[in-house]
Amino acid sequence: MPSTEQVIKGLEVFEAQVKAYDEKFRKKKILPKNHDWRPYRWCSRDIVFALLVVQQNRKGNYLDVDVCLIAQPPQYIENSGARVALGFLLSEAYKCGGTMELVFSKNIEGGRVPAYICDLAIEMGVKLKHVFEGHITPFESRQLYLGLAGFSKMAQEKIMKMAVDKTISSERVCFMVMGGVWSLPEAETIILGSKHPERVLQSASEPDERHLYLNDLLVASTSILGGVLDRKLLRTELVENGQIVESEDEEFPLVIDFDPVHFAKIYRAETDMIVPWIDENKILFSGQKMVVLIRARSDSEIQKYFPKDLESLKKLIAKYRKDAQIMILYLLPRDFEDVSLTTQSQIIEQLKKAGVYLMISPENMASLNKEAIRRLETGRRTRQ
């Protein structure tokens, strides 16, 4: 843990860097380059997690860190400040095109790797070999990045296999999550549910490669549809000044898993919650699971592929209904409303016979495809 003197020195350096930044860039209304010193303050509402100053060292091709002050707010999980700081540093190192090495200056706890980051590394089981020399090696950075991203063991194994096969780097996958292009559950859906996840995560297919591009677009759209459900279930609403607003920090405690065989999501509630987008008022009780078969289909595709989906649902029932309390659901986009009423009634009747709930998302295929295209284009502009 840094001493009071080290914290005061860090604050003084940070203040000086902010003043220099204002003079050199903000007042002149120009943007800094990666190799310029850039100060960052990471906050949530009025809570500060970290103060950081970084630049890309062009000669050594690593990320220089001149200030790294980390707070540990008691309202958040242990090492939350270190997670925020390290997540940013590793993402910045990747974005700037360097080797992923981090080098801490003498202004940071006497020139060592910050103690809070060392604590976090121990928590994740990553051994840092150059703590007192003040740098984290590229190999150590990749291990830390993978741990911070929060992938499941199955997904980590798939990522490492892709990295060994040199189809995609592990840091690219982590950056897609930490950079907000894909949420963690969406990325896991792509990694575990697609035959070629590296194509989607690298935005490798061009629109003129029609068959490959449409396949990647379908995988992306289906993952996004699942992500829409994730956010609906996780969303916590607060009342502020008489208005309902979404909390920036609080989410319902929910465990999200994925069944790659059937492209289905498995949710386990840790508190009672209402199941959205179904006709009946159903509550998912604490400890109860629900399995959701996710299918991003247009109205014509719903009619064409429903028999196949029904077979998948029956397999899910056989696999998971050993526990009678597990709910099985079938998630479709709003395009279901464009299906003829007769076909709708037939589908609903067959689902009821099978004991499956129909779940209709407010999103349609047009909006899902539009968002999928946006994310694929964002990935194409990101460092490979």
Q: Is the pLDDT reported for residue 368 higher than 70? A: yes
Q: Is the pLDDT reported for residue 245 higher than 60? A: no
pLDDT confidence tier of residue 92, bands split at 50, 70 and 90: very high
Average confidence (pLDDT) over 303-319: 96
Which phi and psi angles does 263 have, rounded to 5°? 55, 55
CATH architecture of 4-149: 3-Layer(aba) Sandwich (3.40)
Domain locations along the chain: 4-149, 170-380
- The contacts of residue 41 (CB under 8 Å, 6+ apart) are 48, 50, 51
How far is residue 384's CA from residue 298's CA, in Å, rounded to a whole number? Answer: 32
Q: What is the pLDDT of residue 311?
A: 97
Q: What is the pLDDT of residue 248?
A: 58
DSSP code string of 223-246: HHHHHHHHHHHHEEEEEETTEEEE
Strand 283-284, strand 135-136: pairing: unpaired
Q: Is the pLDDT reported for residue 241 higher than 80? A: no
Residue of 36, 45, 88, 41 lying closest to 69 (CA atoms):
41
Q: What is the pLDDT of residue 43?
A: 94
Q: Is the pLDDT reported for residue 249 higher than 80? A: no
Q: What is the pLDDT of residue 252?
A: 74
Indicate the pTM of the whole model.
0.90
pLDDT by residue (tens digit) across 114-128?
A: 999 999 999 999 999
Q: Is the pLDDT reported for residue 348 higher than 70? A: yes
Strand arrangement, sheet containing 47-57: 38-44, 47-57, 62-70, 102-104, 135-136
Q: DSSP alpha helices (H): ranges in the chain?
A: 4-21, 80-95, 115-124, 138-149, 153-164, 170-178, 184-193, 197-202, 210-234, 299-320, 341-354, 365-380
Residue of 263, 257, 342, 261 lying closest to 296 (CA atoms):
263
How far is residue 202's CA from residue 191's CA, in Å, rounded to a whole number? Answer: 12
214 vs 242, more confident = 214
pLDDT confidence tier of residue 383, bands split at 50, 70 and 90: confident
Residue of 31, 155, 169, 164 lying closest to 97 (CA atoms):
169
Q: What is the pLDDT of residue 307?
A: 97
pLDDT confidence tier of residue 367, bands split at 50, 70 and 90: very high
pLDDT by residue (tens digit) across 14-33?
A: 999 999 999 999 999 999 99
Strand 62-70, strand 47-57: pairing: antiparallel
Residue of 123, 62, 110 lying closest to 90 (CA atoms):
62
Residue 43: both structure tokens together: 């906050």
How far is residue 373's CA from residue 115's CA, in Å, rounded to a whole number? Answer: 42
Distance set, CA 123 to CA 72, 83, 117, 119 (Å): 15, 11, 10, 6
pLDDT by residue (tens digit) across 53-91?
A: 999 999 999 999 999 999 999 989 899 999 999 999 999
Q: What is the pLDDT of residue 340?
A: 97
- With H, G, I as helix, E, B as strand and everything else as coil, classify residue 53: strand
Report the range out of 235-244, 293-302, 318-327, 374-383 with the highest average pLDDT: 293-302
Q: Is the pLDDT reported for residue 242 higher than 70? A: no
Distance set, CA 370 to CA 134, 188, 220, 376 (Å): 45, 21, 10, 10
Q: Is the pLDDT reported for residue 238 higher than 60? A: no
Q: At what angle do helices 153-164 and 184-193 cross, to 10 degrees?
A: 60
- What is the separation of C-alpha 159 from the centre of its chain, rounded to a whole number of angstroms? 15
Q: What is the pLDDT of residue 45?
A: 82
pLDDT by residue (tens digit) across 164-220?
A: 999 999 999 999 999 999 999 999 999 999 999 999 999 999 989 999 999 999 999
Q: Is the pLDDT reported for residue 353 higher than 60? A: yes
pLDDT confidence tier of residue 272, bands split at 50, 70 and 90: confident
